[in-house]
Amino acid sequence: MPELVLRGGTVITMGAAGTFVGDVGIDGGRIVALGADVGRGDVELDARGQVVAPGLVQAHVHLCQTLLRGLADDMDVIDWLRERIWPLERAHDAETMGASARLGAAELLLGGTTTALSMESVHHTDAAFEAVEALGLRAVIGKAIMDQWEPGTEMIGEETDAAWSDVLRLVERWHGAAGGRLQVAVSPRGTRNATVEMWRRCVALAAERDLRLHTHVDENRGQAARFAATAEGRDLVALDAWGALGPRMVMAHCVWLDDAERTLLRESGAHVCHCPSANLKLASGIAPIPEYLADGVNVALGADGAACNNRLDAFTEMRLAALIHKPRLGPRAMPARTVLAMATLGGARALGLADEIGSLDVGKRADVIAVRMDRPHAWPGTASDPADRLVYASQATDVDHVVVDGRLVVRSGVLQTADVATLQVDAERARRTLLGRVRLPPS
């Protein structure tokens, strides 16, 4: 008898079983049965009328920035970093970091995101791990490595050896923790926020310990042009020269790749994380994602941080990813199934977890969501593809049940692992603490 059965939903597996109406049986943290009737479970959840799908994967967020929501709106990315993000991140202590990460993890889980790759700040990364460990999110987390300073980042940068020892300590403490639910990423903040020496150490460590590399790439056009004029050259040229451009690398944004970088991307096996809301809000541009997919590049989705989105909502990102490429390429570009694949298997592949998550297949870890379809904005459903309903009509608040690693973390829309009202009070207090430490320039 399975521990848990989601009963009678329209199940989009994204795997071998295709789409069917029936049950998902879960036991020992894994999917043990799929089909018309998998038998009774110790716990039964009625999913009739709901769409059941793999938990959504976001391959680029910043849990450390959840407290910064609404403090840095309508700004260019360069000003946004120098005038808001660096000073506010630097003001974090372990307590404010924990409050930020708990609020972010709660938002992710309640909205059906079961796995996130999160880049934190320079310090207090343990507090982010502790938050997601407690709330039940699956996460790959990296501290932001910033041992190369430029005007504006000297306020937040670290010495190379100090940064490195923190990376090694985090790997020892957290990689594989919580039964494998938590992993460590090696995460220079941007290609030029880390020294070449640091990049080489990161590449060697990632290979030795089988870790993901994660960084920001070609986000802003002016910044990309400025980097192009340096000795290292454009972002992907530099990453390639440092040995960092390969299947372990997950690159957020990739808005402004030139032709040579496109070739390097195609040949490298590196992954792109598309962040449409953040790219629009910071006026960075629109990444040519359909072209990357046509090149055979694996693409994931991500909300980026609450400071530049301002939601951590995979449904918003799916809808935008489906919509923003159509004016240029026509209405058939980026159909819903393609986008849902990016938000599930694409994310799982980017994180090196495709054997464990990203689809509902017997034997995989049980990361599953059930989404209500009974509200007016998703109604009626007769004869429509449930993937179309999820991508075009559904909202994050329609998510009813969420299972991560076999554990029911959201039941009937209620977070089971923390009291959300308490998290919100903690976040408000922590935000006041941060603002008490920083004098923001007028916007």
Asked whether position 89 contacts Zn ion by CB under 5 A, the answer is no
Q: What amino acid is encoded at 118 in this protein?
A: S
Minimum CB separation from Zn ion for residue 374, in Å? 35
Residue 185, CA atoms < 13 Å, CB-side half-sphere: 33
Judged by beta carbon, residue 75 or residue 373, the one nearer Zn ion is 75
Distance spanning both ends of the chain, measured CA to CA: 59
At 75, list the tokens: 């700004």
Residue number of the CB atom closest to Zn ion: 304
Minimum CB separation from Zn ion for residue 78, in Å? 14
Judged by beta carbon, residue 304 or residue 405, the one nearer Zn ion is 304
Note whether 377 and 393 are within 8 A (CB): yes
- Choose which of 120, 304, 317, 398 interacts with Zn ion (CB under 5 A): 304
Judged by beta carbon, residue 7 or residue 92, the one nearer Zn ion is 92
Instruction: Kindly identify the residues of this chain, within the stretch 107-166, that bind Zn ion according to CB under 5 A.
Output: none
With CB under 5 A as the contact rule, which of the stretches 21-29, 302-310, 359-367, 383-391 interacts with Zn ion? Answer: 302-310
Q: How many residues belong to the site for Zn ion (CB under 5 A)? A: 1
Note whether 249 and 270 are within 8 A (CB): yes
Residues 6+ apart with CB under 8 A from 313: 107, 111, 303, 396
CA angle 110, 113, 115 (to 5 degrees): 130
Note whether 67 and 413 are within 8 A (CB): no
Judged by beta carbon, residue 58 or residue 359, the one nearer Zn ion is 58
Minimum CB separation from Zn ion for residue 62, in Å? 6
Instruction: Report d(CA 154, CA 240) in Å as an integer.
Output: 26
Instruction: Report d(CA 433, CA 175) in Å as an integer.
Output: 30
Instruction: Report d(CA 22, CA 53) in Å as an integer.
Output: 12
Judged by beta carbon, residue 80 or residue 399, the one nearer Zn ion is 80
Q: Cα-flanking dihedrals φ and ψ of residue 342, to 5°?
A: -60, -40
With CB under 5 A as the contact rule, which of the stretches 28-36, 157-165, 223-231, 296-304 interacts with Zn ion? Answer: 296-304
Minimum CB separation from Zn ion for residue 169, in Å? 23
Minimum CB separation from Zn ion for residue 250, in Å? 11
Instruction: Kindly identify the residues of this chain, within the stretch 229-268, that bind Zn ion according to CB under 5 A.
Output: none
Minimum CB separation from Zn ion for residue 220, in Å? 12
Site residues for Zn ion per CB under 5 A:
304
